[in-house]
Amino acid sequence: MTTNLKTTFAGLKLNNPIIAAASPLTATAEQCVELEKAGVGAIVIKSIFEESIAHNSQELSDMLSHGEEVDYLDGYIGEQMVSEWKNSLVSIKAACSIPIIASIACRSIETWERYARTASEAGVDALELNLMNVGRCTRHTPYGEIEHHLAHTVEVVRKNTSLPIIVKLASNMTNPAALVDRLKACGANGVVLFNRPYPVDIDIEKREYTTGQVLTSAYNLATPLRWTGILSAEIPAMDYALSGGVQTWQDIVKAVLAGASAVEICSALYHKGIDYVAEMKQGLEEWQQNHFEESIDTYRGRMNASKGQYAKDLLRAQYLHFKS
């Protein structure tokens, strides 16, 4: 039986559902070429963070100048960093033949507009909006304001680009289904479940916050797997990619069965190297052949919450018994 791994995510045609997530591994044209040779279906370029640019710019301004010159120098340094980012996108796109996705993370609406236009001008194939909301969660934040802000951000970006818009969401939403439905109405083409905030830990001897576990493990798969199964049934018109905890080809099968069109991987590439992509593709293809699945489309969403026998498992909040 012939089978293929082709899939479509957010309007992008992928040779397989494995997307290299934004990370230091996707920062340069040379690295992206190697990832393409390894067999990934698409690449999300290392994110550009408005906060990081502002921080670096301010540090340099503090070292090099003071007084009235600071504002000018601060703006100039920021412009240079954005220009370098654009040039990097152009070179990566020119070097690769698979879909290239620019990841952007901003604080102000004006910067979302600007970065979206800049990435579009660079010729990338899609945008991934890195939407985090931890810093906006305070006791003074009215109900629904965070969701409104996220939806408004997508509206603004949509007005500034015709590229497919992929939204990478955090997992701390009270009603992800309502939010995804609204994002779809605002112009989003795909959703990635889920974004992972900066991991923190505490050094109890020094009483300092330190960086927690950066890389994910198989344990992290459960939450995005559950919500992929729920949301793909609730809002089937949206495309979904699962992120966090995808370590093996079996995890990709699980993601597709739950309703995902693709997966984003990062930690697996650090754990096992980029050559591991070939093994993941081979395992996925053999599973499809053994189970008589012609393509990703034939079994995508087969185990989501639209199927009564699976809905009870996906929607269950408490376990009735524990099996070790």
Return the structure tokens found at 93. Answer: 């796109």
Determine, yes or no, domain membership for 322. Answer: no
Q: For residue 71, what pLDDT is reported? A: 55
Amino acid 196: pLDDT: 78
- For the chain, list residues with pLDDT below 70: 51-78, 133-136, 317-324
Helix axes 176-186, 145-160, angle to 10 degrees: 20
Query: Which residue shows structure tokens 């980029």?
Result: 274
pLDDT tens track for 142-152: 888 889 989 99
Residue with tokens 């690449």: 43
Question: Is the residue at 303 inside a domain?
Answer: yes
Q: What is the pLDDT of residue 29?
A: 98
Q: What percent of the chain has pLDDT over 90?
A: 67
Domain annotation covers residue 216: yes
The answer, as to whether pTM is greater than 0.85, is yes
The predicted pLDDT at position 91 comes to 98
pLDDT of residue 169: 93
Predicted pLDDT of residue 34: 98
Looking at the domain assignment, is residue 2 inside a domain? Answer: no
CATH number at residue 33: 3.20.20.70
pLDDT score, position 141: 79
Query: Does residue 320 lie within any of the structural domains?
Result: no
Range of the domain at 127: 7-314
Is residue 107 assigned to a domain?
Answer: yes
The verdict on residue 209 lying in a domain is yes
Q: What is the pLDDT of residue 173?
A: 82
Position 193 scores a pLDDT of: 96
- Domain total in the chain: 1
In a domain, 324, yes or no: no
What count of other Cβ atoms lies within 10 Å of the Cβ of residue 61? 20
pLDDT at residue 84, as a whole number: 93
